[in-house]
Structure 1
Amino acid sequence: MLWLFVSATLGDWVYTVVLVVSVCFHELGHILAAANCRTSVEEVVLMPFGSVAKLGRWLGTEPKTEAIIALAGPANSLVLCVVGLLLGDGMLGDKLLEVNLLLLAVNLLPILPLDGGRVIRSEVVKRLGLSAGGGSLVRFMDAAAFGLLGAVILLNIYGMASVNAVVLAVFLVYAVAQEKKMMPYLFMSYVGGKQGELAAAGSLVGRLIVVLPETQVTKALKDMVPGCYHLFQVVHQGGAVATITEEALFAALVTHGSTITFAEAEAKGTEPFASHTPPHQRQATS
């Protein structure tokens, strides 16, 4: 909070008060939306360019919920923009409009962990799946963050961008790097919570993915999408079929590494594999 005190003492105290109120109202939108989606907000960190809310659980595997919570903050900022316009010309109205337009512009940048980045992630993961979508997203965010940093530094040199803008860009580069480190745990979070979802709901939409024995387990991740329980069928020559659950797939990755194939996972006894023989190959018994 030191930067708030310094800003209020040495700068424009009206602007500082409006900024704090606007940021808090912005975060209130996230908090109320999270509560409505049965998700808690553990803490809110205030920063010179706004704030970052830390949710009680990772929503990277819940696209719809993540998008709803992410858009709630900008929606509140938009409300304050309208209030600023209604107040008309004057110190309070002008400051309210200026601050909330700035908050909207910053928070809707398509870079994680900002709201715009979360909305983009929710849509990409929903359309492309966990593995392919997550990988494409990280590459895009990386380029966007470094591009923003380069542009802001150049503008700062020519006196067209403040130090706060440079701090924001540096923070976003760091934040994207942290997101890249967390990508392997996205799948763990997804699989780890699936049994709980199944137990709570009693049923989930199923999705069947058919693979060959020589298919690498990691390749199959690209076909996984949020909101479904996946079963993998390994089709052997002659028509024999083995079925593997999400939990067994995860166990194979953890135990044997990312290069393991479905055939190797079967040979090493990964459980629970269930082998089946097609009806036309079964022998009649008396």
Structure 2
Amino acid sequence: MRTGKIAGVEIVVNNWFLVLIVLFSIAGLASKVLLIFSAVLWHELAHALMAGGLGYKVRQVELLPFGAVARIDRLADAGAASEIMIAAAGPLASIGLAVLCYTGMAGAGPGRELLTFYGEVNIMLAGFNLLPALPLDGGRILRAILTGRRDYRDATAIVVTLSYVISCMLLLWAGVSYWLYSTLNLTLLVAAGFLLLTARTENNLAGFRALRILANKKAELTSSGVMPTNHLTAMESTIIKDVIRLFGPEQYNIVHIINRNFELCGALTETQVWEGLLKRGIKARIKEFL
């Protein structure tokens, strides 16, 4: 159900979310549920507004029964700096809201309990999202940092491995809690299952990212006739893997190839590199592409 727009971003309420509100209202917990989801909405809007400020089109934010999701066009094609800024915006917004809650508790009176609860919710939301696991914000930030030294697929594989480790730790935590207190923590189990499934999906999609980015660049260049270009210079003996890891997603790349005498041997467009890669493999030397 569409409820309106905030700063130009369409807000959609999932029907199951409405059912959840009704159920919690019957149980007398409606106010706390609404506070939780307002915190999640604030978190997602921060991502959306940052993405919009960086030039990405934000279509909508949907409230789901167990969270929210911001739908942002071409977000997966963002460069490392943009991805870090967009990912960090959510946790920073949650921490800022928590600070406001704690600073306002002094004169809150009867509302002190709700302010304390709301502050704790925002702190937990920020803390969980900063875990170095995909698709959480912390995992996206770590992957973006790793792409400075590795290609996107290798960086994704490293963070996915961390995601599996964190999932196992959450499962272990749930098991120890049950053994000690005879209480099953469903939140930990759901979080562990969520990370296991979504991290595997992220790993599967990483291999298609480069081709998707190239297709978007070609479409943009064809339609506008011009776009920003990044020029690279490589020795003719350079392994192609070391070249493509420097390809940024927000510019078209052209590689100039020189020999040991620093004479220009030729140049390759990004499209030629990727097409040649399919024939020659990731370990070929760039001179073989000429």
Same fold by TM (over 0.5)? yes
TM-score grouping bracket, smaller chain normalisation = 0.7 to 0.9
Deviations 1:74-100 (A, max 9, x none): 222122212221332622212211211
Per-residue deviation, 1:123: 1.7
Maintained 8 Å contact 1:231/1:244: yes
* Closer/same/farther in 2, CA of residues 156 and 188 from structure 1, 3 Å limit: farther
* Closer/same/farther in 2, CA of residues 108 and 122 from structure 1, 3 Å limit: same
Question: Could you say which residue in structure 2 is the equivalent of 1:250?
Answer: 274
TM (normalized to structure 1)?
Answer: 0.75
Maintained 8 Å contact 2:47/2:89: yes
2:145 aligned residue (97, 105, 123) = 123
Per-residue deviation, 1:249: 1.5
Q: Distance in 2 between matches of 1:109 and 1:161?
A: 22
Whether 1:147 aligns to 2:172 is: no
Q: Distance in 2 between matches of 1:185 and 1:262?
A: 23
Q: Let me know the Cα RMSD of the aligned residues.
A: 3.4
Q: Distance in 2 between matches of 1:156 and 1:53?
A: 34
* Closer/same/farther in 2, CA of residues 20 and 139 from structure 1, 3 Å limit: closer
Question: Could you say which residue in structure 1 is the equivalent of 2:80?
Answer: 63
What one-letter code is carried by the residue in structure 1 that aligns with 2:69?
A: V
Larger RCO, structure (CA 8 Å, separation 6 or more): 1
Deviates more, 1:241-250 or 1:103-112: 241-250
Whether 1:81 aligns to 2:98 is: yes
Maintained 8 Å contact 2:153/2:207: no
Question: Could you say which residue in structure 2 is the equivalent of 1:136?
Answer: 158
Question: Could you say which residue in structure 1 is the equivalent of 2:126?
Answer: 104
Deviates more, 1:149-158 or 1:92-101: 149-158
Question: Could you say which residue in structure 2 is the equivalent of 1:261?
Answer: 284
Deviations 1:169-205 (A, max 9, x none): 1011111000000111122233334453796765433
What one-letter code is carried by the residue in structure 2 that aligns with 1:142?
A: Y
Q: Distance in 2 between matches of 1:65 and 1:108?
A: 17
Q: Which runs of 5+ in 2 are unaligned?
A: 1-16
Maintained 8 Å contact 2:152/2:206: no
Q: Which runs of 5+ in 1 are unaligned?
A: 267-272, 274-286
* Closer/same/farther in 2, CA of residues 219 and 30 from structure 1, 3 Å limit: closer
What one-letter code is carried by the residue in structure 1 that aligns with 2:91?
A: P
Q: Distance in 1 between matches of 2:194 and 2:235?
A: 42
Deviations 1:221-267 (A, max 9, x none): 34545566241637599x8934322111111234x37467358965x
Q: Distance in 1 between matches of 2:114 and 2:64?
A: 22
Per-residue deviation, 1:43: 4.1
Q: Distance in 2 between matches of 1:166 and 1:105?
A: 17
2:237 aligned residue (205, 212, 219) = 212
Maintained 8 Å contact 2:241/2:282: yes
Maintained 8 Å contact 2:151/2:245: yes
1:190 aligned residue (205, 213, 231) = 213
Deviations 1:50-84 (A, max 9, x none): 33323211345411111222122222212221222
Q: Distance in 1 between matches of 2:64 and 2:274?
A: 38
Q: Distance in 2 between matches of 1:60 and 1:154?
A: 40
Question: Could you say which residue in structure 2 is the equivalent of 1:72?
Answer: 89
* Closer/same/farther in 2, CA of residues 63 and 153 from structure 1, 3 Å limit: farther
What one-letter code is carried by the residue in structure 2 that aligns with 1:39?
A: Y
Deviations 1:142-194 (A, max 9, x none): 33334334434443454476212211210111110000001111222333344
Higher-Rg member (1/2): 1
Q: Distance in 2 between matches of 1:106 and 1:240?
A: 51
Deviations 1:82-136 (A, max 9, x none): 2221332622212211211221121111112112222222222234343543443
* Closer/same/farther in 2, CA of residues 19 and 31 from structure 1, 3 Å limit: same
TM (normalized to structure 2)?
Answer: 0.74
* Closer/same/farther in 2, CA of residues 46 and 169 from structure 1, 3 Å limit: farther
